[in-house]
Amino acid sequence: MYNEILETMTLEERAVLQLGRLQETIRHVMNHVPFYQQQLQDLGLDAGSFQTITDIQKLPFTRKNDLRAHYPFGLFAVPPNEAVRIHASSGTSGKPTVVGYTQSDLDDWSTSVARGLIAIGAKADDLLHNAYGYGLFTGGLGLHAGAEQLGMTVIPVSGGNTDRQITLIEDFRPSGICGTPSYMLHLAERMEEHGLDPKASSLKYGIFGAEPWSEELRQTLEDKWGIRAFDIYGLSEIMGPGVAMECQQQNGLHLMDDLFITEVIDPATGEPLPEGTVGELVFTSLKKKALPIIRYRTGDLASVTTETCPCGRTTTRMSRVKGRTDDMLIIRGVNVFPSEIERVLLQQAGVSPHYQIHRIQRAGLEALELHIELEEGMIPEEMERIICHAMKTECLISIDLVCHPLYGLPRSEGKAVRIIDRRAVSEKKFV
């Protein structure tokens, strides 16, 4: 383990550590962030009002819109020039969400990633091929710093330029690779096009995340590459990659409890949910100096457990992200997450793992078109019957299947775009 004391402390020890750090954070935001200062004043609260971790529930949630409303540096607790790094997430509309780090924030971030890397069995002697994008996105630099901290040798390839990535994998012979799961599929496919077998590469493990992926896709990636594929979770508002990471058990992602308080809430009511129940993840930072954040609503749906992991770590574990609150599709009253559709699709033989879900509108009702690629020799009508039936029995939804030949759908070099909203356009066409 990277830090045995922090990773194996008892629940009671952890509660004491978290409470002290929470009070420190409350003092920090009261002194430096007018947005939180106002909230605390309005509620008549100060650091002393927090006597247990659950007292955090006295405070309102912070949302992405709050960060946007204070664009770019309005929620920073230090003058921007005291931050040593700025990142931003692009967001689908409007201004990006800007985040900042002091040197101590960067140190905590890289330590979190290093801790996760040790948990999956990475070694200081290993070469790591880093295919996460470098730049404003936190993936590239986040993994980079963590791996360097562990003493690994990092190859900062970044995303894209797939043929060059293949050459580097062939020539440098890295043990580990990181990137988005969708890009790893693309990379494997391109190797096969070049007559290379990804399984024959030097790679032994992969660290994949930054987008939703299913257990079935893990299986596909492990089979295609002949590696073990580990899940890494994070978001820029909280830190970046490394908020949680799997260990060799591949049974839940270990959260960095000494750095964050994790809550799971009912996204509709905001009420806390018990362990084991899927709800929206909410994080409060405990040590961040540049951009401390209180009860941030991630929109990500998962459950948590405090049961000790067979790996020996006692840290809270979160499940794989099941979906996002804003990704849930409601088709004729049935709720379904894209990851469920992926799970069912990837169980079928004869289809590639690339797909798109098109949301369309028909006579005022939402419908789904599932665009898939068929391998050569597969008969579209037959596949339509099988896949539509599987979606109906397993996801309880009706879909229209649109079959493309192999490579008929776009490939991703970063976060895949799986959902395409054509509702406004399709309704116009229908009328």
Token pair for residue 322?
């099941």
Q: Among residues 7 and 327, whose Cβ is nearest to ligand DLL?
A: 327
Q: Which of 39, 49, 57, 89 binds ligand DLL (CB under 6 A)?
A: 89
CB of 64 to ligand DLL, least distance (A): 10
**Is residue 164 exposed (0-12), middle (13-18) or buried (19+ Cβ within 10 Å)?**
exposed
CB of 298 to ligand DLL, least distance (A): 5
Which range of residues in 214-222, 229-237, 365-373, 405-413 is near ligand DLL by CB under 6 A? 229-237
At position 177, the amino acid (one-letter code) is I
Q: Which of 174, 241, 292, 338 binds ligand DLL (CB under 6 A)?
A: 241
Q: Is 209 in the site for ligand DLL (CB under 6 A)?
A: yes
At position 89, the amino acid (one-letter code) is S
Outline where 159-243 has alpha helix (H): 162-172, 181-193, 215-225
Q: Residue by residue, what is the 3-state secondary structure of 293-334?
A: CCCEEEEEEECEECCCCCCCCCCCEECCCCEEHHHCEEECCE
DSSP state, residue 182: H
Nearest residue to ligand DLL, by Cβ distance, number only: 209
Q: Is 39 in the site for ligand DLL (CB under 6 A)?
A: no
Q: Among residues 149 and 236, whose Cβ is nearest to ligand DLL?
A: 236
The count of other CB atoms within 10 Å of the CB of residue 94 is 9
Q: Is 232 in the site for ligand DLL (CB under 6 A)?
A: yes
Token pair for residue 243?
């908020």
Q: Which of 63, 70, 85, 324 binds ligand DLL (CB under 6 A)?
A: 324
CB of 300 to ligand DLL, least distance (A): 5
Q: Is 240 in the site for ligand DLL (CB under 6 A)?
A: yes
Q: Is 233 in the site for ligand DLL (CB under 6 A)?
A: yes
Q: Is 138 in the site for ligand DLL (CB under 6 A)?
A: yes
Q: Which of 174, 212, 252, 338 binds ligand DLL (CB under 6 A)?
A: 212
Q: Among residues 141 and 309, whose Cβ is nearest to ligand DLL?
A: 141
Which range of residues in 133-141, 156-164, 191-199, 361-369 is near ligand DLL by CB under 6 A? 133-141
Cα–Cα distance between 82 and 48 in angstroms, integer? 28
CB 354 within 8 A of CB 409: yes
Interface of this chain with ligand DLL, residues 264 to 323, rule: CB under 6 A: 298, 300, 321
CB of 209 to ligand DLL, least distance (A): 3
Cα–Cα distance between 366 and 361 in angstroms, integer? 5
Q: Which residues bind ligand DLL (CB under 6 A)?
A: 89, 132, 137-139, 209-212, 231-236, 240-241, 298, 300, 321, 324
